[in-house]
Amino acid sequence: DGGGGVLDGMAMAELLPSLPLETRCPPFPLRLYGGYWLPEWVLPGLEAVHARFDPRPSDVLLASFPKSGTTWLKALAFAVANRADHPPSGDAHPLRRSGPHDCVRFFESSFALAGEGGGDIFAASPSPRLLATHMPYSLLPERITASGSGCRIVYVCRDPKDAFISAWLFTTKNSTAHDRSVQKSASIEEVFDLFCAGRCVAGPQWQHVLEYWSESQRRPEKVLFLRYEEMLREPARSVRRLAEFLGCPFAEEEEAAGAVDAIVELCSIGQLRRVPANKTGATELGINKESFFRKGAAGDWSNHISLEMAARLDAVVEDALRGSGFSF
């Protein structure tokens, strides 16, 4: 059973208890919905996105599987889109005063935290809006994904082994933020086995990636597919691609003035780590802000899982992607 689907007309509160439950994956209890394991507490937020969020043609949605470079993408897209108002080298830049997650919010969790009756909580945000999501493509409202909506999506994809390790270390560091109904003592091997079975926040990871990749092939002008590893290798190229996709390519004068490099620097993990707002305190969910900035490298999985485990996940992923045209 793949769980329900968003459009089957039943209120989420009624539907939730009947959805398959997984309580072994830190940090939240997950429910299988539309083929994905999603945090139970977020699902009412997803319902609210469908019911209350009013997309605008100028909206840009930053989408990702968790721990795949979301924070970085938020910073880069924010810096690129707002560079006319906020020059990247300026001392007063919002990314030197607040965190990327404050500059660009996740819509499903914002709706979930706002609770019922909040209306469209993003209605007052000026256009063009930048929003973020961890929801899979197939669970986004059609008002966003329909070709006529105008909305653009930027997806960041990461090697599943690195996404797994990043999530494992992140949840371990933030264990006080864990939902009480989730088992706390799980070993990395156990949680890895669950990940390989697609059981993790927003999993199966490869299915999440494949959906967005397929859509980027179908509608390249509306869905930009970025890879974390490529962004690390060529950050300036990624910034230029982002700007072009967002409809604000760098002018010659900007290029000459070093605007691209200034954005790369402003959004680098080293710089973001130094921002006081990213160093101390916790998010609404009790996540230590500094834990969003760890190593920021490709291939760190090899320091944490065995080659045998890696080969096992690679085989699962290869199997699932066979014939799709996509590979990591």
Residues recognised as catalytic: 134
Could you tell me the smallest distance in angstroms from the CB atom of residue 75 to ligand A3P? Answer: 6
Closest CB to ligand A3P among 16 and 167? Answer: 167
- Which residue stretch of 105-113, 198-206, 215-223, 295-303 sits at the interface with ligand A3P (rule: CB under 6 A)? 295-303
C-beta atoms surrounding 296 within 10 Å: 17
Which residues 6+ apart lie within 8 Å of 256 measured at CB?
none
| Of 114, 269, 316, 320, the one binding ligand A3P by CB under 6 A | 269
Smallest separation (angstroms) from ligand A3P to the CB of 43: 20
Verify binding: residue 225, ligand A3P, rule CB under 6 A: no
Write the single-letter amino acid at 312. R
* 109 counts as binding ligand A3P under rule CB under 6 A: no
Min dist. Cβ of residue 68 to ligand A3P (A): 5
Query: Does 272 interact with ligand A3P (rule: CB under 6 A)?
Result: yes
* Cα–Cα dist 65/212, whole Å: 10
Size of the site for ligand A3P (CB under 6 A): 22
Q: Cα(72)–Cα(95) distance, rounded to whole angstroms?
A: 11
Evaluate the CA torsion angle 89, 91, 94, 97 in order and state its sign: positive
**Burial of 222 per CB tally in 10 Å (0-12, 13-18, 19+):** middle
Site for ligand A3P in 52-71 (CB under 6 A): 64, 66-71
Amino acid code (one letter) for 295: K
- Residue 124 C-beta: closest distance to ligand A3P, Å: 26
Using the rule CB under 6 A, is 274 a contact of ligand A3P? no
296 sits near ligand A3P (criterion: CB under 6 A): yes
Q: Please, what is the minimum distance in Å from the beta carbon of residue 48 to ligand A3P?
A: 23
Cα–Cα distance measured from residue 168 to residue 74, given in angstroms and rounded to the nearest whole number:
21
**Near ligand A3P by CB under 6 A, which window of 41-49, 140-148, 266-274, 315-323?**
266-274
Q: Which of 72, 164, 195, 206 binds ligand A3P (CB under 6 A)?
A: 72
Residue from 268, 285, 314, 328 touching ligand A3P (CB under 6 A): that is 268
Q: Per rule CB under 6 A, is residue 166 in the interface with ligand A3P? A: yes
Q: By C-beta, is 210 or 263 nearer to ligand A3P?
A: 263
Closer by beta carbon to ligand A3P, 64 or else 109: 64
The residue from 40, 59, 159, 162 that contacts ligand A3P (CB under 6 A) is: 162
Kindly state whether residue 12 participates in binding ligand A3P, applying the rule CB under 6 A.
no
Q: Using CB under 6 A, which of 43, 122, 293, 309 touches ligand A3P?
A: 293
Q: Which residue lies nearer to ligand A3P by CB, 12 or 64? A: 64
Give CA separation, 168 vs 66, 240, 281, 300, in Å: 11, 32, 21, 12
Query: Which residues make up the interface to ligand A3P (CB under 6 A)?
Result: 64, 66-72, 75, 162, 166, 169, 267-269, 272, 292-296, 300
